[in-house]
């Protein structure tokens, strides 16, 4: 059984509302949204086979927020490069406006508090002219009960300052959809370069990271302090010797904080 919800979009959009189907449980919201039209969304109370970037498992028990928004897509992958970061900025801003304190971004698609991950973003193509924006947030759920390996690395919004006063999940989902719609509108005009100043205020303090690199460049990894991203999306590291290096995103398989 599903319920259908409606949400107005920002005034900057030519589309009057989101149409949201809400399910108790799905395999993944991303899969169910695959063939939906733009400005529709799938929300679920639980995902049976939740996944993140590179097909990694995303534990998605009852108490979390699991949402996929379907957006118009031009078909140009270069034009949408970095859009997941813009969505991360929008989600963080929404949580901040709701009173949650301390959320930061981790490149390229994680929402963090301190060293703990509270959520992630997955952007994929849907149909030829749609883009799927998946969001998973730990709200009151405890993912470490399903996977003890997460006990030291996962967190949840309910444990944060302001987290206990969050609106209910349906209300929060509507706020997130409005924010995603706004990010989509702004990104169409500004692209990634226009979002870089906002993003570089969202990382929190500089942290030491290890970049796992693609095999073809002859170097397996680099360690340094993550400072920011550049206008073209490259990751800027402060190296132990004092210099800085720029690493293009297509050379990076994964970023780990160490």
User: Beta strand 103-106 with 207-213: parallel, antiparallel or unpaired?
Assistant: unpaired
- pLDDT score recorded for residue 109: 92
- 75: burial class by Cβ within 10 Å (0-12, 13-18, 19+)? exposed
- pLDDT score recorded for residue 165: 79
Grouping H, G, I as helix, E, B as strand and the rest as coil, residue 92 is helix
Contact 124, 30 (CB under 8 A): yes
Which tokens belong to 124? 């994929």
- pLDDT score recorded for residue 145: 77
- pLDDT score recorded for residue 71: 96
Q: What is the mean pLDDT for each group of 10 consecutive residues in the chain (258 residues)?
A: 42 61 92 94 87 64 91 86 94 92 94 93 92 94 83 88 81 94 92 93 95 85 95 93 92 93
- pLDDT score recorded for residue 53: 62
- pLDDT score recorded for residue 3: 46
pTM: predicted TM-score of the whole model, two decimal places: 0.87
Residues 6+ apart with CB under 8 A from 253: 212, 213, 214
- pLDDT score recorded for residue 56: 66
- pLDDT score recorded for residue 7: 43
- Domains, the chain, ordered by start: 3-199 (3.30.930.10), 207-257 (2.30.30)
């Amino acid at each position: 059984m599903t319920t259908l919800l409606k949400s107005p979009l920002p005034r900057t959009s030519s589309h009057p509302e989101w149409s949201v189907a809400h399910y108790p449980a799905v395999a993944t919201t991303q899969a169910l949204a695959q063939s939906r039209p733009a400005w529709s969304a799938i929300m679920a109370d639980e995902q049976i086979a939740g996944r993140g970037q590179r097909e990694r498992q995303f534990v998605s028990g009852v108490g979390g927020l699991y949402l996929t928004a379907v957006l118009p897509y031009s078909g140009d992958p270069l034009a949408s490069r970095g859009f997941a970061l813009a969505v991360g900025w929008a989600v963080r801003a929404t949580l901040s406006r709701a009173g949650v304190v301390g959320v930061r971004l981790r490149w390229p698609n994680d929402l963090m508090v301190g060293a703990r991950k509270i959520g992630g973003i997955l952007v994929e193509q849907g149909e030829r002219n749609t883009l799927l924006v998946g969001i998973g947030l730990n709200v009151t759920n405890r993912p470490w009960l399903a996977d003890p390996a997460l006990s030291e690395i996962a967190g949840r919004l309910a444990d944060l300052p302001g987290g206990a006063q969050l609106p209910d999940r349906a209300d929060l989902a509507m706020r997130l959809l409005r924010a995603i719609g706004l990010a989509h509108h702004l990104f169409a005009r500004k692209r990634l370069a226009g979002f870089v100043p906002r993003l570089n205020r969202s990382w929190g303090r500089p942290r030491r990271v290890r970049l796992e690199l693609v095999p073809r460049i002859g170097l397996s990894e680099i360690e340094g302090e993550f400072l920011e991203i550049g206008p073209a999306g490259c990751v800027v590291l402060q190296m132990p010797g004092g210099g800085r290096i720029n690493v293009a995103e297509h050379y990076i398989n994964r970023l780990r904080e160490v």
